[in-house]
Structures are given as C-alpha cells and as structure tokens.
Homo-oligomer: A and B are copies of this chain.
C-alpha cells in the first residue's frame, strides 16, 4: 500500500504524538527502537517531516529530540502521506490507468471505487491525535517485535 518510508513516517509520527512532549522530547534512538525502523533512514524521514513540512518539531543538543505541537496533532493523517509524496493510492485507478473515471471507467472501477473512497475518508477525517490516543499500553501496539 505505502512505501517503507511512508510506513516509518506514519509509525514514527503517531508514536511521537503519543509519547513525546515539549518537556520530554524523544530521541531518534528511542523512536527507531520503539517502532522497529532503521535509525539513520528514520532520521532522514523525520528531518523531512520537520524541515519542509513542519508536522514534527525538533530541537538539537542535549535533551533535544522530537515532539508534536497540539496543533500538529490535530492534522489529518493524510498530511503525512502528502509530505512523503505517497498519497497517490487515495486517488489512483487500481489498474494504473490515467484516464479512468466515471466517464471512462476501467473494468474494475465500479467495484473498486467504494474501497478507495473509504481509504481516503480514513486518512482525511482522522487526525494524528486520534490514532495516537488509540495506543494504550498492553492493548494497542506500535512496536514491531
């Protein structure tokens, strides 16, 4: 569905939203361990979400790390797909046809369109915060081991 990079971005952002605060920031070390992702690769991804897109906040130096502002937590999860350049799946024809539409439907269009709509709905209407608050120790997990 999504690239590895996008999977890591979603996991990391939801994790940071849940565990990080401006007072207690999370290091890339902690984050990568928690979500089971390669550290340096994840660092690159968080950099992008920080620098270009201002979804995540970061501070360098001792006691530095990553956290999300309350405002960022309220963004739809779609914002992460957008930042990662990986939101095509929310719009695209399942057969990859450029001109597939209601007027020129592909053979799978009528069956697939409702699935795509629900997928888009999920990423557009739900906020980062909503998924972050799903995590309750011992009930919902975000780690991978």
Contacts and interface: CB of A to CB of B under 8 A. Distances in A.
Taking the full assembly, how many copies of this chain does it contain?
A: 2
Contacts of A98: 144
B107 A7 contact: no
Nearest to A96: B7
Contact of A94 (B1, B94, B118): B1
Q: Is the interface of A mostly helix, strand, loop or mixed?
A: loop
Contacts of A10: 94-95, 108
Given A2-B94, A2-B96, A114-B118, 20 more contacts: A1-B92, A10-B94, A10-B95, A10-B108, A11-B96, A11-B97, A14-B95, A95-B142, A97-B143, A98-B144, A99-B141, A99-B144, A99-B145, A104-B141, A106-B140, A107-B131, A107-B140, A108-B122, A108-B134, A118-B118
